[in-house]
Every structure is written in C-alpha cells, then in structure tokens.
Amino acid sequence: MLRFAVLGHPVTHSLSPAIHRHALGSLGLRGVYRALETPLERLPERLEEVRQVYRGVNLTLPLKERAWELLDWVSPEARAIGAVNTVLSAGGCLLGFNTDAPGFLEALKAGGIPLQGPALVLGAGGAARAVAFALRGSGLEVWIWNRTPERAQALAAELGLKAVPLERAKEARLLVNATSVGLHAPEETPLPAELFPEAGAAVDLVYRPLWTRFLREAKAKGLLVQTGLPMLAWQGALALQIWTGLLPDPKGMERAALEALGEAQ
Ligand code: NDP
C-alpha cells in the first residue's frame, strides 16, 4: 500500500486528498492520501514519519518555503523558486521538488492560453515566485506588481525581471492573479476593471470561489480566462508522476476538485 499526504496548517480544507484519491483510483494504484495537520514546529518529526512510511507528500502553507533545510536534496528549480511543494521519500532519503511552476505552464498549454508577453504577475508570495519563474523560463517578458512594492522589487531583482506599477496591466497580454485577493471574497479584486488590456488572457490562481471577480471582469472585457483548478490539477498530477512514474489524467483530477468544491461551497 502506497502512502501519500498533504502537510500544512491549516490543511483540513485542502482539495489535494480528493484529487489524488481520484488519480490513484484512475491509475489502478492501491494507495492512501491523507491530510495531515502539521504546524511548522511539528515539521521535523512529521518529515521523519514521512521518511519511514510514506512514498511522498505535498507541502502547503506555511511549510512550502520552510522545509528545505530538513530535506536531503532539493531540485535546482525548487531552489530557484524558493519553495518545495512535493517531497519524494525514497531509500530513506527525502527529495524536494516544485511542481507549481511546470504545473502552471502545462495548465496554460492544456487550456489553449497563448504564452504571450508581456506577462504581468500580480503578487510576490510563493505562488507568484513559481509563476514568474515558469514564465521567465518560457522566454516571456515578465513584469511583477505587488501591494508591498519592496517585495515586488526584491523578486524582480532576484529573477532578473521588472517591477511595474499596476497601470502597466493595460499593456500586458497575459495577466496572472497570484495574490490571495478574491479568496473567499467574491467581490474583491486586485485589478480595477478599467486596467484590463484590450486583448490577451487572464488566469486566477485563486479557486475559491472558482469565478472570482478578477476572472468575471476579464471575461466581460473579452479576454481568454482560466481558473485556478487546471493548475491545481496539473501540479498534483506532476507530483504523482514524481512519486510513481505514472502521469494521471489531470482533467479527471480537475473534475474531482470541482466536485469537492461543490460539496464545500
Ligand atoms: P502568500 O501568502 O505567499 O502571498 C500572498 C500574496 O497576496 C502577496 O503578494 C500579498 O501581498 C498579496 N496580497 C494579500 N492580500 C492582499 C490585498 N488585500 N491586496 C493586494 N495584495 C494582497 O500566498 P501564496 O503565494 O502561496 O498564494 C497566493 C494565492 O494563490 C492563494 O490564494 C493560493 O490559494 C493560490 N494558489 C493556487 C494554486 C493553484 O494551484 N491554483 C497554487 C498555489 C497557490 P503583500 O506582499 O503586499 O502582502
């Protein structure tokens, strides 16, 4: 029996168990995937448990950016992003990866969202770092805006990108909301409607609610839009591939997430 889990605090509302259980079933793998409440101070002992009895775990807030000094190896991509969201436990070693960045790109590709720059990433937290890293790696011109400008400048300097004022959104061709604005707040948006460009695409990483105000307004402006669920499904599918060598169908995982969200809403 293969054992997997998501570690975080709080983690009770995570969609990861739903999407991974679906994926394990679809691949015909006998396994369990649990949500393990893990405050930061309990992380060292939890990772020892993972080393002994788990095949792999996902990490979510607040552990993503804090776990790597406890791991035996961290991939160069996860190091550059500064966050580990997937840990493989193999032969007594804990190996750290980041599947948010490739998951974001795969989701765009699968959704027919063109990789066109300039891309404006809203936010400078962990998700924004992964998205900016992924888009830069695809050769796009990437701009960063953040509520706290110093964080935008620091991230931009670190990745060789440009920090810009919010008004530059009008010139972007791809907008990504990687802030937490809109989460559980359907009427909140990081971008005033008049700042959307005339053409292009908008992606929201927030998926609670699924149709955020940011996406609704982008759609009304005629932009292509993508919710946060395809990325969620793809980062999970790529994690399962790291753990087992098998890539599940992300579309099925997305449907499982949608069902779980429907139950939760
Ligand atoms: P962090 O806490 O690391 O970062 C939060 C970001 O949101 C910061 O840039 C912060 O700005 C900004 N922010 C918070 N409140 C406001 C506000 N009122 N106005 C403007 N900006 C604000 O979170 P993460 O980066 O980990 O996650 C961001 C979002 O992305 C979350 O909603 C998360 O659920 C989602 N996510 C979705 C994924 C998916 O697969 N779809 C994957 C990962 C994350 P400041 O620096 O000024 O505080």
Share of residues in the chain with pLDDT > 70 (%) = 99
pLDDT tops 70 at residue 263: no
Distances from the Cα of 235 to the Cα of 15, 46, 87, 253, 264, angstroms: 12, 22, 13, 10, 21
Alpha carbons 22 and 20: distance in angstroms, whole number: 5
Q: Is the CB of 124 under 6 A from ligand 1?
A: yes
Find out whether the beta carbon of 205 lies less than 6 Å from any atom of ligand 1: yes
Q: Hey, whose CA ends up nearest to atom 31 of ligand 1?
A: 180
Domains 2-98+230-261 and 102-227 agree in fold: yes
**Positions marked catalytic:** 64
Which of 147, 155, 176, 180 is the pocket-test mutation for ligand 1 (most atoms within 8 Å of CB)?
180
When the candidates are 3.20.20.80, 3.40.50.10860, 2.90.10.10, 2.40.128.20, the CATH number that belongs to 2-98+230-261 is 3.40.50.10860
Cβ neighbours for 56, distance < 8 A, ≥ 6 positions apart: 4, 86, 87, 88, 89, 239, 242, 243
Supply the pTM of this predicted model.
Answer: 0.97
**Span from the CA of 31 to the centroid of ligand 1 (angstroms):** 31
Nearest atom in ligand 1 to the alpha carbon of residue 127 is 25
Structure token digits, residue 147: 């509520």
Look at residue 55 and tell me whether its pLDDT is greater than 80. Answer: yes
pLDDT per position as a tens digit, 87-118: 999 999 999 999 999 999 999 999 999 999 99
Mean pLDDT of 112-127: 96
Beta bridge partners of 8: 37
Residue 264: pLDDT band with limits 50, 70, 90:
low
Residue 182 Cα: closest atom of ligand 1: 32
Average pLDDT of the residues of the chain: 96
pLDDT, tens only, 197-212? 999 999 999 999 999 9
Q: Are 176 and 131 in contact (CB under 8 A)?
A: yes
Instruction: Yes or no: say if 160 and 144 are a contact pair by the CB < 8 Å rule.
Output: no
Question: What are the sequence ranges of the domains in the chain?
Answer: 2-98+230-261, 102-227
* pLDDT tens string 9-40: 999 999 999 999 999 999 999 999 999 999 99
**Alpha-carbon distance 162 to 154, whole Å?**
10
In a 13 Å sphere around the CA of 119, the CA atoms on its Cβ side amount to 29
> Is domain 102-227 given the CATH code 3.40.50.970 in the classification?
no
Residue 37: other Cβ atoms inside 10 A: 12
Average pLDDT on 189-199 reads: 98
Query: Residue 70 to residues 3, 38, 48, 56: CA-CA distances in angstroms?
Result: 20, 14, 10, 15
**149 contact partners, CB below 8 Å, separation of at least 6:** 163
Preceding omega of 118 cis (within 30 degrees of 0): yes
